């Protein structure tokens, strides 16, 4: 199963707020021996969100979407998810109860009495209106839940809420957890052009199924200057064998190996 991340909000695209979800999600995945397959940033555009979410639901990927699930006019994620699924929106009964608990808690802290029928309460209940058939994602920060349908999960944009909710989502999939994550072994190569090493890379991938070869060129690396980090990655037990074959190929090519890295 591929794993994807959607980060939603005009404030991210405009630079008003800096995204912290991508780095944190990669960290949470690594803790479970998992790896991110793709990520995408999207603005608060209902038509665009609907199209992208339709693709996400159809993909079968495990997807986490951050942002846009509030109840203000600039939030469109809940409505777009419903449109993508061709389902109606409805107030989730468990979400309503959790939101009502939060409303009462806040009122008690202010010394006020509230009822579920008053306008402010009804507006807050809108945050629990999800596509029909959705499940809820618990929010340990303030009880206002996120939701999921199939393998697509929706959490708030606030990092303090979103990040523990992301962890909860990943723990729904223990079958995807690994004792050891994807490993990398690489060489710092100098004295060769990336294009000239491409045939070697192609030979390694052809010879070792399940192993990926990568190349990261630099023109001004602070330690090695102009160089290429050339390596292999995978969780296959043939990783060491593939690495040895890659290293031998570089030596036979006549390039200089300045360092060897393991991640």
The residues spanned by each domain of the chain are 3-176, 183-262
The tally of CA atoms less than 13 A away on the side-chain side of residue 120 is 9
Place of tokens 């990669």: 26
Q: What is the rounded CA–CA span in Å between residue 76 and residue 51?
A: 13
Q: What is the pTM (predicted TM-score) of this model?
A: 0.85
Per-residue pLDDT band at 237 (split at 50, 70, 90): confident
Tokens coding 177: 């957890």
233-254 mean pLDDT:
89
Q: Is the pLDDT of residue 236 over 80?
A: no
Place of tokens 């980090």: 229
| Answer CATH for 3-176 from 3.40.980.10, 3.30.465.10, 1.25.40.10, 3.40.50.880 | 3.40.980.10
Sign of torsion over alpha carbons 119, 124, 127, 129? negative
| Neighbouring C-beta atoms of residue 140, cutoff 10 Å | 11
Kindly report, residue by residue over 27-83, the tens digit of the pLDDT.
Answer: 999 999 899 999 999 999 999 999 999 999 999 999 999 999 999 999 999 999 999
CATH 3.30.70.2860 applies to domain 183-262: yes
pLDDT at site 234: 83
Q: What is the dihedral of CA 15, 143, 57, 77, to 10 degrees?
A: -40
Contact criterion met (CB below 8 Å) for 169 and 197: no
Q: What is the DSSP letter of 34?
A: -
Backbone angles phi, psi at 139, to 5 degrees: -115, 105
Per-residue pLDDT band at 206 (split at 50, 70, 90): very high
Distances (CA, A) of 216 to 8, 106, 185, 251: 29, 52, 13, 18
């Amino acid at each position: 199963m591929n794993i994807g991340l959607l980060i939603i909000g005009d404030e991210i695209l405009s630079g008003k707020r800096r995204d912290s979800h991508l780095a944190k999600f990669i960290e949470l995945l690594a803790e479970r021996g998992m790896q991110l397959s793709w990520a995408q940033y999207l603005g608060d555009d209902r038509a665009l969100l609907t199209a992208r979410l339709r693709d996400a639901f159809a993909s079968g990927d495990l997807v986490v979407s951050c942002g846009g699930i509030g109840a203000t006019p600039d939030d469109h994620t809940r409505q777009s998810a419903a449109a993508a699924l061709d389902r109606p929106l409805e107030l989730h009964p468990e979400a309503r109860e959790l939101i009502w608990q939060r409303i009462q808690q806040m009122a008690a802290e202010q010394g006020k009495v509230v009822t579920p029928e008053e306008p402010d309460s009804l507006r807050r209940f809108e945050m629990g209106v999800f596509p029909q058939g959705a499940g809820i994602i618990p929010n340990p920060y303030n009880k206002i839940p996120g939701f999921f349908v199939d393998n697509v999960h929706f959490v708030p944009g606030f990092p303090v809420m979103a990040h523990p909710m992301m962890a909860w989502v990943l723990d729904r999939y223990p079958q995807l957890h690994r004792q050891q994550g994807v490993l990398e072994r690489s060489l710092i190569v100098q004295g060769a052009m990336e294009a000239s090493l491409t045939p070697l890379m192609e030979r390694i991938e052809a010879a070792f199924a399940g192993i990926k070869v990568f190349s990261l060129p630099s023109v001004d690396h602070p330690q090695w200057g102009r160089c290429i980090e050339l390596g292999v990655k995978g969780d296959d037990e043939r990783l060491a064998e593939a690495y040895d074959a890659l290293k031998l190929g570089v030596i036979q090519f006549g390039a200089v190996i300045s360092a060897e890295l393991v991640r």
